[in-house]
Structure 1
């Protein structure tokens, strides 16, 4: 039963994030394509005239953070056979980081540092978490390999973004480094549902 509940929450949390971002981007003060290519996810969460549905984007940040905490601590921990302390710590770092992003917005010189810290915690901590998870489970099969690849892609995208903050296409790398976490949440939900009978 725990696997089923956690699996459903993982899937719903990831889908909510993607839908909320899409709706927020659609309402943003630019074309949809330009918003995804040239405007960061953080911009969608700034409460101003450019982003009338900023509350929706911020709710998605909070929900995906809570999804990580709930699912990992409630059930996914049972699949981790080593590095459990690191698993717990990185889960909290990533989840708290994304919640900070939701509560402390970008675009304000006073709070920009805290917002950036939250983003680094979420993206860097989250993708390192994926790599740790892939090497901390009992087996190294398709799910673990996909998790490892997602973590590596996320880290590469993060570093490209980090060293190209002034690039016109920086938001593309930002999204790529975040989407690895969202995709992982979805496939983890499927993984848990498939293993409900064995690991309930």
Structure 2
């Protein structure tokens, strides 16, 4: 197997693992939060990283397995950056821009994981910065990967899907901010997931496509 194929296979595995770790950590941490049950539509994702019990930002936070979610945040960022670094076939300028974007995304994941958003420890600003970096640059990265489809050996249709995922996520930032500013808190958790889930799923699908391309 050529070095290029090895790199593509490793890149695909890292992208799959990055998204998979996030979803697995979220599911495990949410399942452990039972009194009262965690709500995917009402609670912030970051709440899963706060052990508590504490009330902040008008939400009760009590995550018995907060360390699982915080580890997931960090590993997601690091693995996604690793996947981008391992991508093969990108021209120099595209590669630099994509790696820079992935670095900012990874920094966001690490900040969110290291500084839980409970608001009671003086680190809320770091957490907020990390969330903003992850929100914006995760979706920008999806757009960049989608637009580079011909260099990466993935289909044009999948490339367009990745671009659509990124655009949807960026638009969802506005919906999330509007819901947050209103103070109503209605479906705020769902609005936040509209920012993150599309690009996470996109990374997993691209990773799987790279794996299939290598095998064939």
Name the TM-score, length of structure 2 as normaliser.
Answer: 0.83
2:192 counterpart residue number? 174
Match of 2:94 among 80, 83, 93: 83
1:183 counterpart residue number? 201
- Whether the 8 Å contact between 1:80 and 1:138 is mirrored in structure 2 is no
1:135 counterpart residue number? 147
Q: Return the structure number with greater relative CO, CA threshold 8 A, min gap 6.
A: 1
| Whole-angstrom distance in 1 between the partners of 2:105 and 2:89 | 19
**Worse-superposed segment, 64-73 or 13-22:** 13-22
- Does 2:142 correspond to 1:124? no
**Worse-superposed segment, 51-60 or 84-93:** 84-93
1:30 counterpart residue number? 36
| Whole-angstrom distance in 2 between the partners of 1:66 and 1:101 | 13
1:145 counterpart residue number? 160
- Does 2:8 correspond to 1:3? yes
Offset at residue 133 of structure 1 (A): 2.3
Q: 1:132 to 1:10 in 2, by over 3 A?
A: closer
Q: What pairs with 1:54-73 in structure 2 (closer than 5 Å)?
A: 54-73=66-85
**Long gaps (5+) in structure 2:** 1-5, 54-61
| Whole-angstrom distance in 1 between the partners of 2:215 and 2:119 | 49
1:154 counterpart residue number? 169
Offset at residue 83 of structure 1 (A): 2.7
Aligned with 2:40: secondary structure? helix
2:57 counterpart residue number? none
**Cα RMSD (Å):** 1.8
Offset at residue 156 of structure 1 (A): 1.1
**Worse-superposed segment, 134-143 or 41-50:** 134-143
Which aligned runs of 4 or more in structure 1 are off by greater than 4 angstroms? none
1:51 counterpart residue number? 63
- Whether the 8 Å contact between 1:69 and 1:91 is mirrored in structure 2 is yes
Q: 1:136 to 1:8 in 2, by over 3 A?
A: closer
- Largest Rg, 1 or 2: 2
**Worse-superposed segment, 10-19 or 94-103:** 10-19
| Whole-angstrom distance in 2 between the partners of 1:129 and 1:138 | 16
Name the TM-score, length of structure 1 as normaliser.
Answer: 0.89
- Does 2:104 correspond to 1:98? no
